[in-house]
Amino acid sequence: MEAVVLGRATAALVLAAAALALPGCTCGGRQAGPPPERFLPAKVDAAVIVPEAGRAARELAALHATIAGFPGAPELVQARGALTAQLGFDPLDPDALEGAGVEPRRGAAVAAYPLPGRAEPAAAALLVLPVRDADRLGDLFARIARDRLGAGLRSSELRGETSVVVFSPAPGTPPALAYAVVERTALVAAGPFAVDVVAAAATRRIDESLAATPAWKTARAALGERYAAILFAPPGSRRLAGLWAVKDGIALATSGSAAGARLGAVVLLGDREPSFRELSAGGAAARLVGRLDPGAPLALRWDGDPSALGRKLLFLLPARERARLGARGVDPQRDVLDVLAPGAAAVLSIPPNLDLTTVSEDTARTDPLLVARFEAVLPVKDPAAALAVSERLAPHPRRAGRGRAQPAPADAKTFRIATPSGEIAWRVDEAERRIALAGGPTGALALLEARLAGDGRGFEAPTMVSAAALQGGLGGAVLDPQRLVASVRRLPDDAFGTGPSGFVVRSVVDRFLEPAARLSAVSLQAELADGALVLALDVEAAAPGARP
């Protein structure tokens, strides 16, 4: 029974957090007061922190208005309506929220963490809210306790110098909800341990709080002021158990507007930072991206050190693929990534002969051009080494000559591998110290080399924000949804199959195409900050009426 009560109480607390962490407009700069993380314990499992509540409201309200026009949005509108009905006010209405007693010019937070000193495992959830009007906020808590938790009995309990307001279902029963106001901040908890959680938060020393931890300081500095809300899991969090890539902590952040949304991730590096610093190399891939296929929907660039990247990621290469390369005498680290220099650029396109009914792991391996066409420019450290490994991958044919070695063909620096759907061709340019690589129909390499020579327009990012993803840091990627949707819509009907199954596949694809057609760009950028790897994903909405 206690577990049921705790579950209901925690759900109500999270419900309140979802509403109250998104307050209304600001009327100037932030008001003085402690940041919300100052009241959270250092060892949280996870915490959602809103540095400035009013900004979060403005951005989410604008983003909500944009998303409302997308397919499937009625469910979002209904969810907002249901939340409004449960809380008694619209959480995205600035006037209504200010009327609830929340101060929009300061931050809010909600955190989950283990309760110390318990014989049995127990968890706590703490909500931190900035107070504008303590009486109105108290009335809101009383209504939530009564209507959502069935706890209409109000009392108070003194813990040290902190007066905690307690709501219980009946005399002698455990509390369902408790709160206290400290330093113009409301501390709220639900469940049978609510009073203990609130009292501990009210008396928590600053040096014992999340705000004082090096991990949080590193994540906060890496994120800067770009984001309106942050989800943080520190090192040691139970939420990160078994996730080796983020074992030192991670912060996920978001901001939004009518134009789209930005999602950020900060992966804390801990003692791994020196090995990540080896990735930095300062390549110049942006100028090469601008020479690649102008019709491609996806562009990628890597300005970091390919060799260092391989030492981190090549363990993910399947043993089967390693064996295939080994049979040709090629070691992917030694003969490929160690040969490449920083500044690689590539684009991917959908082939017009794509047949989704025949795509499988085996067909993609034997005929990769059935799945995607591509172009790439790969700077190399040593052209001679690049030529040597190219010979092992696609040796030039030699004519028999009574045991004598024959001269190399005239195009000795160009290599080709034929596939059922075309050819993979590349040329090692010793003067430019790079490899030009194309996978597509015969002649694709010649088109790429013409653009590299300055003949014709190349890839252009669709927006200024996405163009920035092709500049600076370790690397980036840009997806042009309009080009992608146009490519898929040009596919013949039989590319999706025939009969009822083909109709189903086409319907599934169309469900993704409709929202994708409402986007102008999706871009990703990676860079290093002090103690962290920082990723930023921007999703930009297309202008009204825009269609591929």
273 and 157, same structural domain?
no
| Most confident residue range from 213-227, 254-268, 317-331, 501-515 | 213-227
* Mean pLDDT of all residues belonging to the chain: 85
List the structure tokens of 164.
């905690």
C-alpha span between 313 and 317 (Å, rounded)? 8
Length of the chain: 548
Q: For residue 249, is it within any domain?
A: no
List the structure tokens of 113.
């963490």
Give the pLDDT confidence of 438-462 residue by residue, as tens digits.
999 999 999 999 999 987 789 999 9
Average pLDDT over residues 280-302: 95
Q: What is the pLDDT of residue 14?
A: 41
C-alpha span between 137 and 117 (Å, rounded)? 31
Average pLDDT over residues 15-23: 41
Q: What is the pLDDT of residue 98?
A: 75
208 and 76, same structural domain?
yes
Torsion of CA 355, 361, 365, 368, to 10 degrees: 30
302 and 196, same structural domain?
no
Q: For residue 96, is it within any domain?
A: yes
Quick one: DSSP state of residue 324? H
List the structure tokens of 284.
């110049």
136 and 68, same structural domain?
yes
Bridge-based pairing state of the strands 298-302 and 344-349: antiparallel
CB 40 within 8 A of CB 47: yes
Confidence of residue 502 (pLDDT cuts 50, 70, 90): confident
Torsion of CA 238, 242, 245, 249, to 10 degrees: 10
Partners of 262 in the β-ladder: 255, 538
Q: What is the pLDDT of residue 493?
A: 83
Give the pLDDT confidence of 46-93 residue by residue, as tens digits.
999 999 888 887 787 777 777 766 666 666 666 666 766 766 666 666
Q: For residue 113, is it within any domain?
A: yes
C-alpha span between 92 and 61 (Å, rounded)? 6
Q: For residue 403, is it within any domain?
A: no
- Per the listing, tokens 């085996």 go with 362
Average pLDDT over residues 302-307: 96
CB 208 within 8 A of CB 244: no
Q: For residue 169, is it within any domain?
A: yes
Tally of structural domains, the chain: 2
Angle between helices 73-87 and 2-20 (to 10 degrees): 110
- Report the b/e string of 143-156 with b at 16+ CB within 10 A: ebbbebbebebeee
Q: What is the pLDDT of residue 520?
A: 95
427 and 308, same structural domain?
yes
Q: For residue 258, is it within any domain?
A: no
H or E segment and range at residue 188 = strand 185-190
Partners of 475 in the β-ladder: 302, 526
Q: What is the pLDDT of residue 258?
A: 81
C-alpha span between 303 and 341 (Å, rounded)? 9
312 and 194, same structural domain?
no
Q: What is the pLDDT of residue 397?
A: 64
C-alpha span between 489 and 484 (Å, rounded)? 9
* DSSP letter string, 496-540: G-SHHHHHHHHHHHHHHHHHHTTEEEEEEEEEEETTEEEEEEEEE
Among candidates 406, 407, 405, 428, which has minimal Cα distance to 416? 428
Q: Provide the residue range defining the domain that includes 303.
A: 269-394+411-541
Q: What is the pLDDT of residue 503?
A: 80
Which of 175, 193, 216 is at the close of a domain?
216
E strand segments, 34-96: 46-50
Spacing of C-alpha 160 from chain mean position: 44
- Provide Rg for the chain, Cα atoms: 29
C-alpha span between 6 and 501 (Å, rounded)? 47
H or E segment and range at residue 201 = helix 194-202
Average pLDDT over residues 32-56: 91
> Is it the case that residue 36 has pLDDT exceeding 90?
yes
**Helices then strands (H, E): number in the chain?**
17, 19
Percentage of the chain beyond pLDDT 70 is 84
CB 30 within 8 A of CB 102: no
Q: For residue 365, is it within any domain?
A: yes
275 and 212, same structural domain?
no
Cα dihedral sign for 33, 39, 42, 43?
Answer: negative
> Is it the case that residue 26 has pLDDT exceeding 80?
no
181 and 52, same structural domain?
yes
Partners of 376 in the β-ladder: 346, 437
* DSSP letter string, 465-485: HHHHTTSSSSEEEEE-HHHHH
Among candidates 191, 190, 179, 194, which has minimal Cα distance to 134? 179
C-alpha span between 434 and 425 (Å, rounded)? 14
C-alpha span between 9 and 14 (Å, rounded)? 9
> Is it the case that residue 412 has pLDDT exceeding 90?
no
284 and 189, same structural domain?
no
C-alpha span between 415 and 437 (Å, rounded)? 9
Give the pLDDT confidence of 156-172 residue by residue, as tens digits.
999 988 999 999 999 99
H or E segment and range at residue 276 = helix 273-277
> Is it the case that residue 22 has pLDDT exceeding 50?
no
Which of 216, 249, 281 is at the close of a domain?
216
Give the pLDDT confidence of 138-157 residue by residue, as tens digits.
999 999 999 889 999 999 99
Give the pLDDT confidence of 327-363 residue by residue, as tens digits.
888 999 999 999 999 999 999 999 998 888 777 888 8
C-alpha span between 107 and 110 (Å, rounded)? 11
C-alpha span between 267 and 436 (Å, rounded)? 34
List the structure tokens of 236.
């040691």
C-alpha span between 258 and 245 (Å, rounded)? 33
307 and 175, same structural domain?
no
Average pLDDT over residues 177-182: 96
CB 100 within 8 A of CB 72: no
Q: For residue 357, is it within any domain?
A: yes
List the structure tokens of 202.
């009210």
371 and 286, same structural domain?
yes
CA angle 482, 456, 288 (to 5 degrees): 75
Confidence of residue 96 (pLDDT cuts 50, 70, 90): low
Q: What is the pLDDT of residue 62?
A: 76
294 and 363, same structural domain?
yes
Q: What is the pLDDT of residue 398?
A: 54
Which of 188, 216, 244 is at the close of a domain?
216
Lowest mean pLDDT among 114-118, 318-322, 347-351: 114-118
> Is it the case that residue 487 has pLDDT exceeding 80?
yes
> Is it the case that residue 42 has pLDDT exceeding 90?
yes
H or E segment and range at residue 94 = helix 94-99
Cα dihedral sign for 7, 10, 12, 15?
Answer: negative
Partners of 165 in the β-ladder: 156, 179
> Is it the case that residue 212 has pLDDT exceeding 80?
yes
C-alpha span between 381 and 155 (Å, rounded)? 74
pTM for this structure? 0.86
Average pLDDT over residues 510-530: 92
Q: What is the pLDDT of residue 501?
A: 78
